[in-house]
Structure 1
């Protein structure tokens, strides 16, 4: 089943969802199955998107968006979302724009997205190499550096359990743990599965 997600940044009437809604319906999405949200693309707090992702059924549904920039805050966030969908057997399709070649229900679409993911990974590795080089140079001069983990093992366990409950309010969870949504999803997927940063945190605390 096709599930649509549409978003504009402002709810003051200067922007509307008509174009996205029409294109999603034209692509075969039932208008009753379109999740519509008014929120800036940079906002971490997007409850409609969270509800949409939770509602998708593994190996049955395909998430459809008008353009790539309607979904992710940035390339990294977008890739994390789509990789989570692919892990669950949920398809992803982009109707227009630079990402219109992406349709993970097809072999060619999967290949195109794999290229996006590889470029993002390459970018992360470059940043990591520069960071390590900078820290090494700082240590050689007697300075200590490095970003402290905002998440703790205890917070991680609490968040992991909470995310497995579909009734969990993400905003309240983040407020309770004193972390941002970005931090939460950096360590855990929307379903509570451990991500790379979570494994790093666990290995550091076990060392």
Structure 2
């Protein structure tokens, strides 16, 4: 049986009482105090080093426990992506309170997990379709004569969405992007990870 690993987050407006409330709820649910990761968000910069460490610590069979759903995701897209990643890694998920309590050890919880996974897949398809449409529109307007084909932010987004998908044929992707295989791999790795040349284009 895996570990119960907890995550708590507070912002300036929450105050310490909310942190204590979250911790108490996690400890009462069976999470060991040494297995609770914390983040303190302040101002516009939402530092999530605690969440990053928490995600890295999770192993297949473990269960991530949070007080409320809004503690985990900074926005809907981030939440969907995070929960989908947990599902793929065999990690359980439990939300203790709020309007959407979730426990993947129950049938309802598994259904919620499936919905999150479907939303993540839907988002990836939307990104891919929008990017392809943008590329086709750019080709229809014509290229500037003599310019060397290069990667753009739109092409990088498409490559990110496509790379790592089992159905993706790299040669076809290169043709769609209008770049060489060497150029593609210089910007995006086999699993969709951004490389140094891509970071210079899309920003950090």
What range describes the TM-score normalised by the shorter chain of this pair?
0.5 to 0.7
Does the residue aligned with 1:89 lie in a helix, a strand or coil? coil
* 2:68 aligned residue: 67
CA gap 1:109/1:43 in 2 versus in 1, 3 angstroms: farther
The farther-off stretch of 34-43 and 123-132 is 34-43
3-state SS of 1:24 partner: helix
What corresponds to 1:137 in structure 2?
137
Task: Return the alpha-carbon distance in structure 2 between the equivalents of residues 35 and 68 of structure 1.
Answer: 15
Contact in 1 for aligned 2:9/2:38 (Cα 8 Å): yes
Match of 2:30 among 28, 31, 34: 28
Unaligned runs of 5+ in 1: 151-186, 189-193, 200-207
Could you say which residue in structure 1 is the equivalent of 2:51?
49
C-alpha RMSD over aligned residues? 3.4
> Radius of gyration: which is bigger?
2
Structure 2's unaligned 5+ residue stretches are 145-150, 158-187, 195-204
Correspondences of 1:1-207 after superposition (within 5 Å): 1-10=3-12, 13=15, 16-39=18-41, 45-59=47-61, 61-100=62-101, 102-143=102-143, 146-147=152-153, 149=156, 195=191, 197-198=192-193
- 8 Å Cα contact 1:41/1:72 also seen in 2: no
After superposition, the Cα gap between the structure-2 partners of 1:95 and 1:31, relative to the gap in structure 1 and judged at 3 Å, is same
Specify the alignment match of 2:161 in structure 1: none
Cα distance between partner residues in 2 of 1:136 and 1:10: 46
The alpha carbon displacement at 1:35 in A equals 1.5
User: For residues 107 and 132 of structure 1, what CA distance do their matches in structure 2 show?
Assistant: 38
Equivalent pairs, count: 155
Deviation string, structure 1 residues 133-186 (Cα, Å, up to 9, x no partner): 233222211258842549xxxxxxxxxxxxxxxxxxxxxxxxxxxxxxxxxxxx
Change (3 A) 1:131 1:98: farther
Q: Judging changes above 3 Å, is the alpha-carbon distance between structure 1 residues 6 and 42 closer, same or farther for their aligned structure 2 residues?
A: farther
TM-score w.r.t. the length of structure 1 is 0.59
